[in-house]
Amino acid sequence: MKSLSAGIAGILWVGGLVFTMLAGALAAGESGASRARPNVLFIAVDDLNDWVGALRGHPQSRTPNMDRLFAKGVLFSKCYCAAPACNPSRVALMTGLRPSSTGIYHNPDEWRPVLPDAVTIPQHFQQHGYRALGSGKIYHDAFPDPASWHEYAPSLEKQKFVDLYPVPSNVNGLNKAHFDWSAVDAPLEQTGDFQTVAYVVKQLERDWSDQPFFLACGIYRPHLPWYVPREFFEQYPLEGVVLPEVPADDLEDIPEAGIKMAKPGGDHAAVVKSGEWSKAVQGYLASIAYADRLIGLLLDAYERSPQRDNTVIVFWSDHGWHLGEKQHWRKFALWEEATRVPLAIVLPQGKQAGAVCEAPVNLLDIYPTLIELCDLDQRPELEGKSLLPLLENPRAEWNSASVTTHGRNHHAVRSGDWRYIRYADGSEELYDHRVDPREYRNLAAREEYRGVIEQHRRWLPERNVPERKPDQAVRRQDRAKKATD
């Protein structure tokens, strides 16, 4: 509890939490168990960009259940990932360390041998008497972390249940591994994500009066391939699908290093040429609708749960996604679409329900926030910043910017109004979000913005450790999958 200066509502709320913590300390004194510490329901949705609820990234996307979750707590409308790819983003989030400090920049970078002593979020909870358990994708598929959990489904070594695939696959004919989309004729109950949610629901129904839980639920869609039951495709009839707006000359003011990330001659050229763009957008929307349905089942269970009034929910996605903006697809870039993620934190007993916080925050901030919310020991090595002051007062002054790193020394700095990108070769982009939310006009070369750029440079990490030489077998495996994760 650091800040007591956040206004009446904040003080009342902190007062309530102090009481809870005091009760916890008393309980600990009596029984040795930290009984009154809040439980944590930790929900990850893979590859979910801002096409949700109040973030309004796409005019047609409907996410009633995620909206229901956001309405219970604080939705952070300017949250960005530490890295725009599954593995480095998740490693940063779960260890609290920046990619530029660990050298875990890419998907094939096996992280545990590099960080043998890192204490992940669930490990830290374990050390405070919590039961750590879960199911689904929390770490990158290739690198689960058995040390993080007491129990996991399907197992400590395998995070995900088997998924549905149409036969034959490669439905769109693009021959790009998992870069495919199609309705499947099977019930929701047969999907891997459903089984993950069913496991988590069962855990929520258990009696937890003797021990608090840290319970993780990692939903895999809308990660590729976009194979979900037909009913979700039918929510978005193909003929009405709205495509992202992509000005033909948008890349003309972008430096070479940015164009290299966009790869306009790759996925985008193939999708446009094959006439699959609308189907792809439909597939992503359908996959989000499917994930949303599962979130609904999870929320129903949370609402029925006897632990509801003493459970914190953290809802996050690991990075954003391009569907043609900047002639780019997937993540792996430093623009708004690839870096913006939904983050919501639901506090016990409906505190701050329905608030939207516009301060620029980062997924790295989750770890220190949970430490304060659950009164765990501080970890001085963490590089994020506790969001507690913003949970107390979502409009509080926030003198910070959010940094995303993609490969060594390529960084984006997002402040409240600006996005500044600096690539390793020194080339730059600057966008004014007050007038250019789609980042069409790169202002970096204009003299009058030197001051703004200087202000943003001070957030760039000072340390940029070299890239690792990843395990070649893993790299080959990942290449075989075309690095879609």
Interface residue list for Ca ion (CB under 5 A): 46-47, 86, 250, 253, 318, 440
In the residue annotation, 86 being an active-site residue is answered as yes
Q: How many CB atoms lie within 10 A of CB 147?
A: 15
CB of 429 to Ca ion, least distance (A): 9
Shorter beta-carbon distance to Ca ion: residue 2 or 479? 479
CB of 84 to Ca ion, least distance (A): 9
Find the catalytic residue in 58, 79, 81, 86.
Answer: 86
Shorter beta-carbon distance to Ca ion: residue 24 or 255? 255
Residue 362 forms beta bridges with which residues?
80
Shorter beta-carbon distance to Ca ion: residue 88 or 394? 88
Q: How many CB atoms lie within 10 A of CB 263?
A: 17
State the Cα–Cα distance between residues 279 and 272, nearest whole angstrom. Answer: 11
208: left (phi over 0), alpha (psi -120 to 50) or beta: alpha
Shorter beta-carbon distance to Ca ion: residue 47 or 375? 47
State the Cα–Cα distance between residues 439 and 250, nearest whole angstrom. Answer: 9
Shorter beta-carbon distance to Ca ion: residue 314 or 373? 314
Strands (E), 318-450: 322-323, 329-330, 340-346, 355-357, 361-362, 402-405, 411-414, 418-422, 428-432
Shorter beta-carbon distance to Ca ion: residue 219 or 357? 219
- 454 within 8 A of 396, measured Cβ to Cβ: no
Shorter beta-carbon distance to Ca ion: residue 167 or 248? 248
Find the catalytic residue in 58, 140, 411, 456.
Answer: 140
- Phi (first) and psi of residue 4, to 5 degrees: -115, 20
Q: Where are the alpha helices (DSSP H) in 265-365?
A: 267-274, 277-304, 336-339
CB of 180 to Ca ion, least distance (A): 17
- 327 within 8 A of 250, measured Cβ to Cβ: yes
CB of 141 to Ca ion, least distance (A): 10
Give the nearest residue (CB) to Ca ion.
Answer: 86
CB of 324 to Ca ion, least distance (A): 14
Q: How many CB atoms lie within 10 A of CB 179?
A: 22
DSSP per position, 182-250: EEE-S-GGGSHHHHHHHHHHHHHTS--TTS-EEEEEEE-TTSSSEEEEHHHHTTS-GGGPPPPP--TTG
CB of 48 to Ca ion, least distance (A): 8
DSSP state of 405: E
CB of 93 to Ca ion, least distance (A): 11
Those residues whose C-beta lies under 8 Å from the C-beta of residue 156, and which sit 6 or more positions away, are: 144, 146, 149
CB of 266 to Ca ion, least distance (A): 18
441: left (phi over 0), alpha (psi -120 to 50) or beta: beta
CA distances from 126 to 42, 232, 463 (A): 14, 38, 31
In the residue annotation, 150 being an active-site residue is answered as no
Cα 305 to chain centroid distance, Å, stands at 25
- 157 within 8 A of 173, measured Cβ to Cβ: no
State the Cα–Cα distance between residues 457 and 451, nearest whole angstrom. Answer: 10
Shorter beta-carbon distance to Ca ion: residue 279 or 330? 330
Give catalytic residue positions: 86, 140
